[in-house]
């Protein structure tokens, strides 16, 4: 069997393709393996948020009090199937612990490092003209129907101040000015400067593929089942067809990454967090910003295909069929948020987020020799984190080790 000289990237999602383009730009020969066409799954179905101001993890002060109420509603923001609960419980406990203020501050430092240059990093990968056509950075909105959690708000304000992120508190006329069609029940909000979104996540993936092919990269439709390390610099990839031997591999296979790394003794608390979206074509809502509706745990983004309403968290395992009532519930949430909304038949979707309890991805070497590198677990932040992840992986593979890389190491677990 011939030992391949190319760097193999396992996974053709937005993270894997961003890594592939970045490495190809640096002159590395790269081949990408994935059983499906690039840019599907979570890379397609996400909320499209791309923001250098993303510094807060999903967990935070006050989350513990909300969890029982969320879980009591099968169609609510958080659902754990009874059958899957014993497996999910350790993950959920880690998630709650990640919401302690001291831990949130540490997570925020890592998120700031990864996301702060995401616009420039996307321009490096996609070109400034593409970014100008396909991304908007008017600021990101957060809305509440009540006052929200005071401790969480104070911690968020402290962290934003630390990293120079400007935000404007909203209420009354100013809130209606920015979101004229929102329900009068929405009382308070926050405009986070620098926030943004893409008009079409699929277009980003398609352009990455186009650029990768232009740089001489290859994409092979192949399912990698397991990774074996026969010796330093000699990696055997067991696939659905013939095995492949290579000198170096980057694992960016999303939720399936944990299974691939198990033969190497790597154990990471990676959970399949099912999410849903409803895209509402030909809508009449006037909206120039992305919205995070904090009370109900969903986001609204104005995209080319329509108004994308995305969110909810479901833990039920990889093999359980989706409950599309949860996607239909998002349509109802949109009608409550925008009482006068009109739109065509909703387009419904479900897929898995590769989620870690502290909202940070794992990025770094799995072996002492650095011949297996990990890059997965971006939870809700893959579109913001993909280009920064590509930068970190490029640094690691070219020996540019930085102190900040340790924040993403799998050893934190």
How does DSSP assign 305-362, residue by residue? TEEEEEEEEEE--TTSPP-THHHHHHHHHHHHHSTT---SSPEEEEEEEEE-TTSPPE
Residue 66 pLDDT more than 70?
no
Residue 99 pLDDT more than 70?
yes
Average pLDDT score over residue span 124-132: 95
pLDDT of residue 62: 67
Residue 368 pLDDT more than 90?
no
pLDDT of residue 231: 85
**Token pair listed for 82:** 């009874």
Residue 64 pLDDT more than 80?
no
328: pLDDT confidence band, cut at 50, 70 and 90? Answer: very high
CATH number of 55-111+135-195+270-355: 3.30.9.10
Residue 37 pLDDT more than 60?
yes
| 3-state SS, residue 20 | helix
Average of per-residue pLDDT values in the chain = 91
The CATH number, out of the four listed (3.50.50.60, 3.40.309.10, 3.90.1150.10, 2.40.50.140), of the domain defined by the range 3-43+203-268+359-412:
3.50.50.60
Average pLDDT score over residue span 24-32: 94
DSSP percent split of the chain into helix, strand, coil, nearest 5: 35, 25, 35
373-396 per-position pLDDT tens digit: 999 999 999 999 999 999 999 999
Residue 1 pLDDT more than 60?
no
61: pLDDT confidence band, cut at 50, 70 and 90? Answer: confident
Domain ranges of the chain: 3-43+203-268+359-412, 55-111+135-195+270-355
**Token pair listed for 2:** 């011939």
């Amino acid at each position: 069997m011939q030992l391949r000289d190319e760097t193999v990237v396992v996974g053709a999602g937005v993270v894997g393709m961003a890594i592939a383009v970045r490495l190809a730009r640096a002159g590395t020969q790269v081949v990408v393996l994935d059983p499906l066409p690039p840019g599907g799954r979570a890379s397609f179905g996400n909320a499209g948020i791309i923001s250098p101001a993303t510094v807060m993890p999903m967990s935070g002060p006050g989350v513990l009090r909300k969890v029982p109420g969320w879980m009591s509603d099968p169609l609510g923001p958080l659902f754990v199937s009874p059958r899957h609960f014993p497996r999910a419980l350790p993950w959920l406990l880690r998630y709650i612990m990640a919401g302690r203020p001291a831990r949130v501050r540490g997570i925020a430092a890592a998120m700031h490092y990864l996301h702060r240059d995401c616009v420039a990093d996307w321009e490096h990968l996609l070109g400034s003209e593409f970014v100008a056509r396909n991304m908007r950075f008017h600021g990101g909105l957060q809305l509440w129907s009540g006052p929200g959690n005071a401790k969480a708000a104070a911690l968020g304000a402290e962290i934003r101040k630390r990293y120079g992120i400007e935000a404007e508190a909203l209420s009354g006329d100013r809130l209606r000015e920015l979101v004229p069609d929102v329900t009068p029940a929405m009382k308070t909000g926050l405009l986070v400067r620098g926030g943004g979104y893409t008009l079409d996540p699929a277009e980003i993936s398609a352009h990455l593929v186009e650029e990768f092919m232009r740089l001489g990269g290859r994409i092979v439709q192949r399912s990698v089942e397991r990774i074996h390390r026969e010796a330093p610099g000699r990696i055997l990839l067991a696939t659905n067809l013939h095995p492949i031997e290579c000198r170096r591999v980057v694992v960016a296979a999303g939720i399936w990454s944990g299974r691939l790394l198990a033969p190497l003794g790597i154990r990471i608390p990676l959970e399949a967090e099912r999410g849903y979206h409803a895209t509402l074509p030909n809508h009449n809502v006037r909206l120039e910003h992305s919205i995070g509706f904090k009370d109900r745990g969903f986001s609204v983004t104005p995209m080319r295909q329509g108004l994308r309403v995305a969110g909810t968290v479901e833990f039920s395992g990889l093999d359980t069929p989706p409950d599309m009532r949860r996607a239909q519930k998002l349509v109802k949430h949109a009608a409550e948020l925008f009482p006068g909304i009109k739109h065509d038949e909703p387009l419904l979707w479900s897929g898995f987020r590769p989620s870690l309890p502290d909202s940070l991805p794992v990025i770094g070497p799995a072996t002492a020799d650095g011949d297996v590198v990990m890059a997965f677990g971006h939870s809700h932040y893959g579109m913001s984190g993909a280009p920064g992840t590509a930068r970190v992986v490029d640094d690691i593979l070219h020996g540019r080790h930085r102190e900040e890389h340790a924040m993403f190491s799998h050893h934190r677990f």
